[in-house]
Amino acid sequence: MAVPGIARGPLRPRYDAVIIGGGLQGVALAYELARKGMRDVCVVEASYPGAGASGRNGELIRSAFSSPEWATLFEISLRKWHTLSAELDVNVLFTPAGYLVLASTEADFRRCRLAAERHRQLGIRTDLLDARSVCQAVPALNPDRVAGGLFQRDGGFAHHDAVVWGYVRAAAWQGVEVHPFTTVTGIRVEGGRVTGVETTCGTISTPMVVDAAGGQAREVAALAGVALPTRTLRLEAFVTEALRPFLRPGVALLSLLGYCHQTTRGEFVGGTEQRIMEPEDSLRTTLVGLRDACQKFVDVFPLLAGVRLIRQWAGVVDLTPDLAPVLGPAPEVEGFWLDCGWIYGFMGAPGAALLLARAIVDGRMPAPLAPFTVERLYTGRLIKEASLVVASPESAA
């Protein structure tokens, strides 16, 4: 039986645009390009849609970031999350249960206070909570690990597989072709501009290529002669057996570098990072990573002690020095666009795809995207974001 949205025929010899990467970034952008009138769009994926980080993430969604750049971009995405099921005509299981940025130290709480002030300036709705209010909102927390927090009531989580396949199907309705198990082996560049893509299933002539290859984005960019100053890191997560409801919102653990939520079926899903992260592109999980996560989560949520784990998994991401995504054209090669460098790509995809499609079709960079172009990585004008829960790749240097 054919999978909804997957192309049944072979690659055609020419497309107006080819997107490399069938993760959430790639299929969401294809959908938005088609909605803007670009019907002749092709997505090529080396595996199946969502096989990479799009199907391996923590599923959490917020716009409660500390920098104006991150908060503005992700607020656009958050607004789309609230209407995405109706727009795609598929239930993406978005649960607006709220999102708590947990401060475990006074330094963390100062960061939350500064972020709350920024949110008021930007019109983003968040509440700064003291330690008592946080413990009342989430009684399962260890009070010794609570100094306060920042709560975004309209944040939450969604189901990654439902979102990916919802976008695939909706893109296909708009005329997009999604070709799985099609590996890109070369990108043709003539006279400083893109002319085609070479794949294991044939060569495509095209004037536009988008690198949305996730953990393989740097290698794909190199095929076009574009050098991305990124590092590939492995992130790990796990899921437990179903438990009685004890955690309503999603939670980010600032100083502990962790993130978690409890699904509607009762499973606890979470992951943590360590201060020093070595570059790694393997999908193999580690005992070190599992031990780190278990120790931190049992410390924060004591009721998890003795709970059985169901599964542990890993995913890879290609990270920039400031952990912010790269969105926009590559200046070295005309017609080659970048949609990569994501660490919070799941929550940011709907908004980023909307804005990037506007930039491509209209020829004008929307203001929320302007800070995220690749030039910042060459000039050193990096984006400073203080509420991320993953170690900087610079710590591995």
Instruction: List CB contacts of 71: < 8 A, sequence separation 6 or more.
Output: 63, 64, 65, 118, 119, 122, 124
94 touches 81 (CB < 8 A): yes
Does the pLDDT value for residue 393 go beyond 70? Answer: no
Return the amino acid letter for 160. H
pLDDT tens column, 204-257: 999 999 999 999 999 999 999 999 999 998 999 999 999 999 999 999 999 999
Nearest Cα to Cα of residue 163 among 77, 70, 284, 39: 77
Concatenating the DSSP letter of every residue in 57-122 gives S--EE----SSHHHHHHHHHHHHHHTTHHHHHTS----B---EEEEE-SHHHHHHHHHHHHHHHHH
| SS3 category, 360 | helix
Q: How many domains does the chain have?
A: 1
Three-state SS sequence of 90-103: CCCCCECCCEEEEE
For residues 26-36, one letter each, b for 16 or more C-beta atoms within 10 angstroms of the residue's C-beta and e for the rest, the string is bbbbbbbbbbe
Partners of residue 86 on adjacent β-strands: none
From residue 111, how far is each of 102, 132, 149 by CA, in Å? 11, 18, 9
Please give the average per-residue pLDDT across 279-289, as a whole number: 89
Full domain range(s) for residue 290: 94-155+231-318
From residue 144, how far is each of 104, 303, 327, 396 by CA, in Å? 8, 14, 41, 31
Give the burial class of 3: count Cβ atoms within 10 A of its Cβ; 0-12 exposed, 13-18 middle, 19 or more buried. Answer: middle
2 lies in some domain: no
51 touches 65 (CB < 8 A): no
| SS3 category, 28 | helix
Does the pLDDT value for residue 394 go beyond 60? Answer: no
313 lies in some domain: yes
State pTM to two decimals. 0.96
Nearest Cα to Cα of residue 381 among 317, 319, 318, 321: 321
Query: How many C-beta atoms surround the C-beta of residue 175 within 10 A?
Result: 12
Please give the average per-residue pLDDT across 58-82, as a whole number: 97
26 lies in some domain: no
pLDDT tens column, 292-303: 999 999 999 999
128 lies in some domain: yes
The two structure tokens encoding residue 152: 């975004």
Rounded distance, CA 184 to CA 202, Å? 9
Please give the average per-residue pLDDT across 165-181, as a whole number: 96
64 lies in some domain: no
Q: 131: part of which helix (H) or strand (E)?
A: helix 131-137
4 touches 165 (CB < 8 A): yes
- Could you tell me the CATH number of the domain that includes residue 120? 3.30.9.10
Confidence band for 1, pLDDT divided at 50, 70 and 90 = very low
State the pairing for strand pair 250-253/258-262: antiparallel
Does the pLDDT value for residue 356 go beyond 70? Answer: yes
360 touches 337 (CB < 8 A): yes
pLDDT tens column, 78-99: 999 999 999 999 999 999 999 9
Question: To the nearest whole number, what is the mean pLDDT of the chain?
Answer: 95
172 touches 89 (CB < 8 A): no
Rounded distance, CA 193 to CA 207, Å? 8
Q: Which residue has the higher pLDDT, 287 or 279?
A: 287
265 lies in some domain: yes
For residues 257-293, one letter each, b for 16 or more C-beta atoms within 10 angstroms of the residue's C-beta and e for the rest, the string is bbbbbbbeeebbbbbbbeeebeebeeeebeeebbebb
209 lies in some domain: no
274 lies in some domain: yes
Please give the average per-residue pLDDT across 159-175, as a whole number: 96
The two structure tokens encoding residue 83: 């209407």
